[in-house]
Structure formats: structure tokens, C-alpha cells
Amino acid sequence: MITIKNLHASIDGKEILKGLNLEVPAGQVHAIMGPNGAGKSTLASVLAGREDYEVTEGSVDFDGADLLELSTEDRAREGMFLAFQYPVEIPGVSNVNFLRTALNEIREYRGQEAISAKDFMAMVREKSAIVELDPKLASRAVNEGFSGGEKKRNEIFQMAMLEPKLAILDETDSGLDIDALRIVANGVNKLRSEKNATIVITHYQRLLDYIIPDVVHVLYDGRIVKSGPKELALELEEKGYDWIKAEQEAK
């Protein structure tokens, strides 16, 4: 689904990603873990096309397309979805209006007709049930006055609505209570298929009890320095990142 080769990216002249390689095939879930400031959110932002970042080297193939050549909105329309670590509030714009606009723009890009109001509302009902999102939240302004957990849940609701090929979840588990965590994870699992892929960025192996990853990667100092099966997450939780640091320094 996505193949990242030797990706270098910087912001305000400071290099954050320093030759990152990563491949996530369709049908798989990959987890990315790593210490604070390692560059996890940066990777997500660069892939999503945030303009503040400058890509200085490397290539990204997204399901056959040259991702770095695409505009931010076209990446989304091609099926890239980012669940934000800090979802943004848009006062006065209802969630449903926001999503219908997004959905129709994506459909137009793909040469599909705009969705009817009736079909759209049916879809809202179906998808909000997947993440057990209070239907009232769907008609409220985008994230405005939502609790931290509600915002995260709303991200997964949006993901369900937009049905992306690749979803990147940036610390979607942080700030969720145990029940919400289970619900969000269930939502993600229900949306998993052979045709899409998911990158889960997290600090806690607990999430990975619910969303079982095919591979766990460690992102350290702008690079993927270690990859392994889901047990790697347990090991990191037990031992922390010092041994990774030591290993890297030894190199």
C-alpha cells in the first residue's frame, strides 16, 4: 500500500526525518512506537502533506502513485487518512456538513456522483454506530467543545465515513478511557480489510492488545531502527527505550 524509501524531511531548517524506510502492504496493520520527539507525528504530517515540512530526499509510493507529487487534498482523495493527535475545532461548521463536503469532494475526484442527503444520513447512522458515537455529536460543530476522548472517537468516525485505503492513527489511544479504547479499537478492527492498511502510532502496548499489529516498528531519531512482531511492543513496554538508544549509539 505504501513504500517509503530514504525519507528526509525538515522543518524550519531542522532535519527531523533522517532517511526513513517503511513498507506497509495492503491488508496489514503496522504499529510505530518511539520516544517523544522521535519524529512520529512528523512522519504522519509529511505523509499527509503538511506544507510546513520540506522533503529534501527520498520517495514515497502510495498504491502506485508518487505521493510526494500530490497536493494535500489529492492525497486524501486518493485514500490517505490521518487521525490527528490533536484534532482541530472548526466552530460553527457541523460535523455532518463538514463530512458531506469532504465525501462529495472525494467522490467528485473519483468521478462519482454526489451522495444524496438520504444516503448520507443513512451512512452517518451506520458509521456512528461502529464507534458508538453519540449521534448528537454528529450534528454538533466539528470538535467544538468535544471532550478529549470524544475528539478521538470523532476522528475514527470520520475515518469510517471516508473509507480510506491507508489510515494513520496518531496516538488515537491517548486520552481514551478503557471502554472508549476498546470501542475505538473495535471500530478500527471492523474497518480492517484486505484492501486497506493501517499505521498505528502509539506509546502504549495496551492498544495493541486490541488492534493486533502485523509488525511493530521503533522510530528513533528520525529513522525506523527496529522492526519485529507484536511481542516487540511488550519488550519496549518492559524495558523502555534506553536499550534502543544504547544499540544505536553502539553503531
Ligand X SMILES: Nc1ncnc2c1ncn2[C@@H]1O[C@H](COP(=O)(O)OP(=O)(O)OP(=O)(O)O)[C@@H](O)[C@H]1O
Partner in contact with 53, chosen from other proteins, ligand X, Mg ion, none, beta carbon below 5 to 8 Å by kind: none
Q: Which is nearer to ligand X, 39 or 187 (CB)?
A: 39
The position carrying cell 520527539 is 37
Among positions 1, 4, 16, 211, the unique one binding ligand X when judged by CB under 6 A:
16
Q: How many CB atoms lie within 10 A of CB 211?
A: 23
| Phi, psi at 193, each rounded to 5° | -155, 175
Q: Which is nearer to ligand X, 98 or 204 (CB)?
A: 204
Window 130 to 169, contacts with other proteins (CB under 8 A): 141, 158, 162
Among positions 1, 4, 24, 41, the unique one binding Mg ion when judged by CB under 5 A:
41
Find the shortest distance in angstroms from Cβ 105 to other proteins.
Answer: 5
Q: Which is nearer to ligand X, 36 or 116 (CB)?
A: 36
Among positions 22, 30, 42, 180, the unique one binding ligand X when judged by CB under 6 A:
42
Residues 6 or more apart whose Cβ sits within 8 Å of residue 84: 155, 170
Q: Which three cell numbers stand for residue 150?
A: 470524544
CA dihedral in degrees (204, 208, 211, 213; nearest 10)?
A: 120
Q: Counting contacts by CB under 6 A, is residue 240 touching ligand X?
A: no
Q: Counting contacts by CB under 8 A, is residue 7 touching other proteins?
A: no
The position carrying cell 513504500 is 3
Q: Which is nearer to ligand X, 86 or 243 (CB)?
A: 86
Find the shortest distance in angstroms from Cβ 152 to other proteins.
Answer: 14
Q: Counting contacts by CB under 8 A, is residue 67 touching other proteins?
A: no
| Phi, psi at 55, each rounded to 5° | -90, 120
Q: Counting beta carbons within 10 angstroms of the beta carbon of residue 36, is it exposed (0 to 12), middle (13 to 18) or buried (19 or more)? A: exposed
Partner in contact with 76, chosen from ligand X, Mg ion, other proteins, none, beta carbon below 5 to 8 Å by kind: other proteins
Among positions 39, 87, 187, 213, the unique one binding ligand X when judged by CB under 6 A:
39
Q: Counting contacts by CB under 8 A, is residue 84 touching other proteins?
A: yes
Q: Which is nearer to other proteins, 51 or 238 (CB)?
A: 51
Q: Counting contacts by CB under 8 A, is residue 230 touching other proteins?
A: no
Which residues contact Mg ion (rule: CB under 5 A)? Answer: 40-41
Which residues contact other proteins (rule: CB under 8 A)? Answer: 48-51, 71-73, 75-77, 81-82, 84, 87-94, 96-106, 109, 114, 117, 141, 158, 162
